[in-house]
Structure 1
């Protein structure tokens, strides 16, 4: 029998109505005389901007700029300015809850919650095997908690099936970086942007998703840099760029392959670097030999003269920086797209030098550190390979277990959902992951959640996914526990505990350690504090590709962050990689990778003639569980809008604010039209921060990259139907209340 989500009415009985905060008439705390002002970092996005949080009566009540922190120098985006509002929010989970049939969620004590979770873990694993219980984690967690989750799943749960929501974010970049450089990190501190002559930004809506980074690019432009933006939409950065290449979604590697072909034909290459410090150039050149300008224009939709101009600007520059984000990575060929970008960097030899580099813009708060220390299905701490016997032995020794007792490679995040639907996985524990909103084809995800025999989740707000839980464990916000995160640059920074978790909520690490103790492995999780956990992480990463051994809390505080790799306590850290031209590959050379082009898995056709792509907006973050609760951010963008070009709108008779039915082979949604000239005529765009009837991911394709297992969020085929109705003023709120998915 299917286990349906707790209904909206039942949730309101227990929790009260969902609130945007602050409400009119809300009691305001006097922030003029805070008890303390604490230096820490923003919880949103991989930039991890420095911020000072004001504390009053054990509550975060405001913020101040932290001008001394070197990356953002006090600058914050709209989300950063409002991030303090989630502390003491009326929707905070303040105790554990259990599902009671007919009553919804009922608050319980911690002992009852722990006992229920342990009982079900043991029952399911005794009945179906260890791997029948899975865990899904999130990279909003600190490095310490990411490390602990990886250890907890392998040592306490003893399951191979652990993965994380970075699977939806950085894994294509990570795999491409490893293939090319043997290391998964941006090559430089982004201070090097300032004097780059040419900057390529591809698949990254920097101005909305990473606004503070825009300043770094503007600084370079003020110094004379030329900026090339590659994106299907005329995003804000494109409006001031020297060159905008509005390619057809899913054709990224066709464009970069054509650029490489132009560079080869015109000999805009660094032959000394290619000959002495790389391998595989001939194979990469062979793969692009048919990628003529005419072919590139036909496939990408970008005029041939613009492709040539971009190749010329890049090829002739003396210094340059290439940056990308999810726009090229959210594809079933995301790794290939990443490698094709890296090929452009290697062909010019502009890496490992001042003002020359390559960077992957990390989307989630600890997307960099979270993918280094062990809650990926194929990874151990230090970005070690879980299938490498030497790596397994090293980590097993640190953890005090036998190598043969360490589980092997498990399933990735979406593969776990598929395994639940096949009946192979029966139980699930999640922490800070909202797959019902963030995974593609989420009707399939909902079906899986309803099939689980047991589901428990650790979180601080009741997400759409947690409405399917049997037990909810009230966890902590970033500012409620000490730790570290790693920024998109590779800078390890300190997160400070500003306040304690409210009510009966607990620190995430305390919950994990208590579950481990009750599973009989408490001696391996006996950490007195976060610093002890970090010190064990340092040892577990020693000698690895992501070596943190020389980084300590004291050094981070003293230097406002330390760049890894940092192999010893007297090592200064590494803001700029590969200055010695010795890459982290077995032959110490950077590797060109051939990137033969193929189309996305789903192309427009007669039945579904329009291309759908998805992304973010400036005021919302990921699945929206945090930002959709903050009133000023909701006011900026209260509901998902369907962006389409005036010519497409005219073709379908669509007016501004008309409700448009959007259908794919996986689902159907209804969205108000936003008619703009800043998008391709053959493409529509939806932001993905909402669930239920507002969900873009009920439409997206769950095809996976064969290497990274990342889904193809950025390109699928859809059809449009004008309903002839306009949205009402209350349509956003009605959409939230209209279905038992959100409340």
Structure 2
């Protein structure tokens, strides 16, 4: 297997291949790319996460590499409302630099913002955070992972002192006697993970799913709890109430390894099962059966995902299930524990190294003086020059173009026009900017609004590392060079930094990297390009050293030798950490912390004008905002358009037939898509996937209320009405 080389792809060349990983979800399935006679193929390979399996998205992942809609030249817009036109790299980059200079001169450093993505490699996420804080010296940076993992991350930090999606290897799922999935549908979102679930059930284990819909995962469950959207915390409180009442609490574990249990015990005392049933619709018998299956299991695992987390009370909801896991003594035991299913490909690593508004590399807090001093030393800048905390993603996007907010935005690897809540409003904010720059390899809905679009390399055209949902740092290897005229994100950041420094808008380029020219551009035909991801990773190791997410002992060579390395790993000669919490929690006293939480209603409740609950999610053949997957022919055939899922009883009341276009209307906007009648949905709830833009954009409808701790918007519930198209 050739490692990290650049390969020709012309017909007649010798076959070449690279062992790499799928570009989509956080499972990061192992695959081999092979190019022969000008054609690139995908083969599943044996890797611990997928064990030789891929989903339909993985099998078709190479189809975009030579897609006819791929961007291969920069685009610029000469005037507002004008068309994007091809431009040279010099013109496009100079346009960005002059725009940044004008905005910061007129409105201050924080008038320029950066928005990243959970699909960027660790190297790119790190470089983007550094670029924002050192080259632009702005506090305004956040990323689309705020819409994915932030509630579970915040709950994990306050309970365990660390945020790692799964604090144990995936193989533990197959060992659990009881597996509880809350708001998770891996059969569609990450199908190869179901191999572990199948193994668990073949061993005689019990699978319990909590979801308002009868999903593909719920159909495989031994028990399906179908609550009203937004009531998961009531379910969690009732389960702990039952565990306390029945004597299933592991008192020895609680006394030795935790603090705060008595306050939680008092808080769930009033959550008798009948009260939870009245609120959530989950029968008392099912609540009792679930609590019994967890409380009497030798090994049990509780997993949450977006269904439980994408709420304005998402942090408290996750804390409710963490409380349950701690009371049962699960975290730190093999085959047991609490975990969260990370969504995006590098949703874990992407939030560890500087894309979040309040963090520096290594999961350090940006308002911690010691953290600032450490990272400033690595970066070669005075600590006092680093900006302070910014604001979470939705608040940042909603402030764009306003009197108080940024006037310019640089977007890397994200499509907020489709993915942000209250998307019509956010689209308007983007249009109000003085400068919008988008770096992408396809013309997404956000890129179509930009003043400057820069074409970037795809996943198979650059080396780097990713960190999957287990905290396993793994290697993405390049198969080939980017097409002529296309650069990597690292090269783009390097060139922009160089030009900003030349115009006095940033510290000198060498000063930024005084321990070595880690991002020094190579001259290729007069264009600054060729930033070295391996060298960036070496600097990331130094910047993360001693932090919560410590990568100091992780090297590319070590990853290659061992199918990845689990963080924290502080020493190159020391062990990594596949399983956390075996002896202590990374808190000051080594104990996990219970947090008393109380159910509260959704930010928006149903009423006569909006009598139905609306929720969103994913489908098997599409991914995120659909920019990539909607362009893959096989995936487009499998899921050609959006839909609105209605229960047949609701459709009958509305006079709606299957396949008929319907309009879903909320206080913020509307979407139009064909009705899909299914008994899988509750009669009081409407579902739509969020992968499409235009009139079928589900996020035109969703609520922009946010969790006060995590900044997570309330994607999973709002009040709507459904109309036949043509009715008013």
TM-score with structure 2 length normalisation?
A: 0.94
Is residue 510 of structure 1 aligned with residue 491 of structure 2? yes
Aligned 8 A contact 2:645 2:686 in 1 = yes
Q: Which moves more between the two structures, 652-661 or 710-719?
A: 652-661
- Partner residue of 2:576? 573
Q: Which moves more between the two structures, 140-149 or 570-579?
A: 570-579
1:338 to 309, 318, 333: 318
1:246 to 222, 226, 242: 226
Tell me the CA shift for residue 503 of structure 1: 2.5
- Partner residue of 2:629? 627
2:49 to 71, 79, 83: 71
Aligned 8 A contact 2:401 2:434 in 1 = no
Tell me the CA shift for residue 103 of structure 1: 5.6
Deviations 1:389-421 (A, max 9, x none): 111111111111111100000122111122115
What secondary structure, in the 3-state scheme, does the structure 2 residue paired with 1:141 have? coil
Aligned 8 A contact 1:621 1:627 in 2 = yes
- Partner residue of 1:527? 518
Is residue 100 of structure 1 aligned with residue 78 of structure 2? yes
- Partner residue of 1:6? none
What secondary structure, in the 3-state scheme, does the structure 2 residue paired with 1:703 have? coil
- Partner residue of 2:596? 594
- Partner residue of 2:550? 547
Is residue 498 of structure 1 aligned with residue 487 of structure 2? no
What secondary structure, in the 3-state scheme, does the structure 2 residue paired with 1:365 have? coil
- Seen in structure 2, the aligned counterparts of structure 1 residues 71 and 46 have a Cα distance that, compared at 3 Å, is same
- Partner residue of 2:722? 720
What secondary structure, in the 3-state scheme, does the structure 1 residue paired with 2:60 have? helix
Is residue 536 of structure 1 aligned with residue 513 of structure 2? no
- Seen in structure 2, the aligned counterparts of structure 1 residues 508 and 263 have a Cα distance that, compared at 3 Å, is same
- Partner residue of 2:256? 276
Aligned 8 A contact 1:421 1:447 in 2 = no
Distance in 2 separating the partners of 1:390 and 1:283 = 33
Aligned 8 A contact 1:645 1:677 in 2 = yes
Tell me the CA shift for residue 670 of structure 1: 1.3
Distance in 2 separating the partners of 1:639 and 1:481 = 32
2:160 to 165, 176, 181: 181
Matches within 5 A, 1:313-392: 313-392=293-372
Tell me the CA shift for residue 527 of structure 1: 2.1
- Partner residue of 2:378? 398
Distance in 2 separating the partners of 1:312 and 1:665 = 42
2:67 to 79, 89, 92: 89
- Please give the root-mean-square deviation of Cα atoms over the aligned residues, in Å: 1.5
Tell me the CA shift for residue 324 of structure 1: 1.5
Is residue 114 of structure 1 aligned with residue 93 of structure 2? yes
Q: Where does the alignment leave 5 or more consecutive residues of structure 2 unmatched?
A: 1-8, 502-507, 520-531
Is residue 264 of structure 1 aligned with residue 244 of structure 2? yes
Distance in 2 separating the partners of 1:149 and 1:421 = 22
What secondary structure, in the 3-state scheme, does the structure 2 residue paired with 1:455 have? strand
Q: Where does the alignment leave 5 or more consecutive residues of structure 1 unmatched?
A: 1-28, 726-743
Matches within 5 A, 1:198-237: 198-237=178-217
- Give the number of aligned pairs: 694
Is residue 151 of structure 1 aligned with residue 151 of structure 2? no
Matches within 5 A, 1:675-714: 675-714=677-716
- Partner residue of 2:285? 305
Deviations 1:678-730 (A, max 9, x none): 111111100000111110000000001001101000000000112379xxxxx
Deviations 1:445-492 (A, max 9, x none): 111011101111111111101111111111111111110000101110
What secondary structure, in the 3-state scheme, does the structure 2 residue paired with 1:702 have? coil
Aligned 8 A contact 1:641 1:687 in 2 = yes
Tell me the CA shift for residue 422 of structure 1: 2.5
Matches within 5 A, 1:446-461: 446-461=427-442
Tell me the CA shift for residue 169 of structure 1: 0.5
Tell me the CA shift for residue 60 of structure 1: 6.0
Tell me the CA shift for residue 572 of structure 1: 2.2
Aligned 8 A contact 1:60 1:87 in 2 = no
What secondary structure, in the 3-state scheme, does the structure 2 residue paired with 1:191 have? helix
Aligned 8 A contact 1:31 1:54 in 2 = no
Tell me the CA shift for residue 344 of structure 1: 1.1
2:149 to 170, 177, 181: 170
- Seen in structure 2, the aligned counterparts of structure 1 residues 34 and 257 have a Cα distance that, compared at 3 Å, is farther
Aligned 8 A contact 2:273 2:284 in 1 = yes
Aligned 8 A contact 1:141 1:478 in 2 = no
Tell me the CA shift for residue 616 of structure 1: 0.3
What secondary structure, in the 3-state scheme, does the structure 1 residue paired with 2:687 have? strand
Tell me the CA shift for residue 425 of structure 1: 1.3
Distance in 1 separating the partners of 2:12 and 2:296 = 55
- Partner residue of 1:139? 118
Tell me the CA shift for residue 217 of structure 1: 0.5
- Seen in structure 2, the aligned counterparts of structure 1 residues 324 and 31 have a Cα distance that, compared at 3 Å, is farther
